[in-house]
Each structure stands twice: as C-alpha cells, then as structure tokens.
Amino acid sequence: MHDALAILRATDTPPELFRRMAVRISLLLAAEATRDLPAAAVTVSTPLGPAAGTRVNGDVVVVPVLRAGLGMLDAILELIPTARVGHIGLQRDELTAVASRYYSKLPQDMSSSFVLMIDPMLATGGSAVAALDMLREAGARDVRMICIVSAPEGIALVERQHPDVHIYTPVIDDGLNDHKFIVPGLGDFGDRLYGTH
C-alpha cells in the first residue's frame, strides 16, 4: 500500500502508472472497508468434494464522487461485482474551494444497503459532506467512505457533520495550503488521473 502511495505522490508518475497505483490502493482499502460485509455461509463442490465457504449477502452500493472517484471504481467492482453504482458529480471552485453539485444519479432504495462512497482526496471535507448529505437525503443509512489521501481538516469536518460515517484512509497528511490543496498530498488527483493538467 505505502509503496504504491509513494509512486502516486511522485510528480513524475505518468497517468498510466498513476491509474494502476490508484487501483492497487483502492483494492486494499476496499478489502478493509468491506471486512464486515454481510455474508452467507455456502457449500460449494470442489473436484474433490464439498467445501464450506461464504458469499456476499446483501445489497452493496458504490458511489464514486466524480470525477476523481472514478479512478477507484473498477477496483471496488473487481471485489464486489454485484454492487450497484451511483454517481455524484461535485466540482470544487478553483478560487474558493467550495464544492458545487452538477450531477446525481443514485440507485433506488438504499435504506438497507451497504453504501461505500469513494473519493480519493479528502481536503477541506466540503465535497465529502455534500456527497454524504446527498446520500442521506436519498435514504442511505449504512455509509462508509474510502479516501486515498486525507487532511486533518477534512476528517474533522466529516466527523462533525456525519459522525456515524467511518472513513477508511491509509494516510493523514499535514494539512492544507492557501489554495486548500493537501500538503504534501499529490496535487490534483483528477488531473493526474486523466492527464488534464
């Protein structure tokens, strides 16, 4: 995990490698975040006889926050292929860093679903709180979030506004700079993911 994170942070990492490291970290984080996913005992037949196992049992909804969250989605679907997918579009204003909504398409009835919100960067926490508000308004109850790099300010805001949402993150950086970017962070995740800077 931390090896991949070092590659992700490095300025000279090209988008292709950046994407692969984002997937690798997301897989590891998702495995941790879904450890207590409801599961049912099953028996399967191996070529040599019956074997006890468990299968995911229950509705899982994954919600990437556009656009950077899309870089984590394939990893989660690799782990939970049956998951339903909702999308939330948020864009931080470049000057004020305030997030505004531009898109939302969420699955019906999430009241008994296990909801995993994915967004790689938790900076001021404004985007995360806006997305969590939208999930709550849509009826989601069991919500957790996965971030690749977090700032103390963002964690504090989410904990204040949504105290029941567990945050899974491998690292908490020093803080935010004057432009509300995470320091040391990795820069603009979406731009690095898609080569748009």
Choosing from 21, 88, 121, 132, the residue that interacts with ligand PRP (CB under 6 A) is 121
Residue among 54, 141, 191, 196 flagged as catalytic: 191
- Given ligand PRP, ligand URA, none, residue 142, with its beta carbon under 5 to 8 Å by kind, binds none
Choosing from 61, 72, 88, 123, the residue that interacts with ligand PRP (CB under 6 A) is 123
CB atoms within 10 A of CB 156: 11
Assigned token pair, 71: 């870089």
At its nearest, how many Å lie between ligand URA and the CB of residue 43? 46
At its nearest, how many Å lie between ligand URA and the CB of residue 183? 8
Is 54 catalytic? The answer is: no
Q: Based on CB atoms, which residue is closest to ligand URA, 9 or 162?
A: 9
Q: How far is CA 173 from CA 9, 54, 96, 115, 186, in A?
A: 12, 37, 21, 26, 10
Is 188 catalytic? The answer is: yes
Residue among 59, 74, 142, 188 flagged as catalytic: 188
- Given ligand PRP, ligand URA, none, residue 181, with its beta carbon under 5 to 8 Å by kind, binds ligand URA
Helix, strand or coil for residue 175? Answer: strand
Q: Could you tell me the sign of the dihedral formed by the alpha carbons of 63, 66, 72, 78, in that order?
A: positive
Is 191 catalytic? The answer is: yes
Choosing from 64, 86, 185, 190, the residue that interacts with ligand PRP (CB under 6 A) is 190
- Residue 56 CA to residue 123 CA, distance in Å, equals 32
- Residue 126 CA to residue 160 CA, distance in Å, equals 12
Which residue type, as a one-letter code, is found at position 64? P
Phi, psi (rounded to 5 degrees) for 179: -95, 10
Helices (H), ranges, the chain? 2-9, 15-33, 70-79, 126-137, 152-161, 189-194
Applying the rule CB under 6 A, the residues between 60 and 99 that interact with ligand PRP are 65-68, 90-92, 97, 99
CB atoms within 10 A of CB 182: 25
Is residue 140 part of the contact set for ligand PRP (CB under 6 A)? no
Contact positions vs ligand URA (CB under 6 A): 68, 121, 123, 181-182, 185, 188-190
Is residue 25 part of the contact set for ligand PRP (CB under 6 A)? no
Residue among 3, 55, 82, 96 flagged as catalytic: 96
Catalytic residue positions? Answer: 92, 96, 188, 191
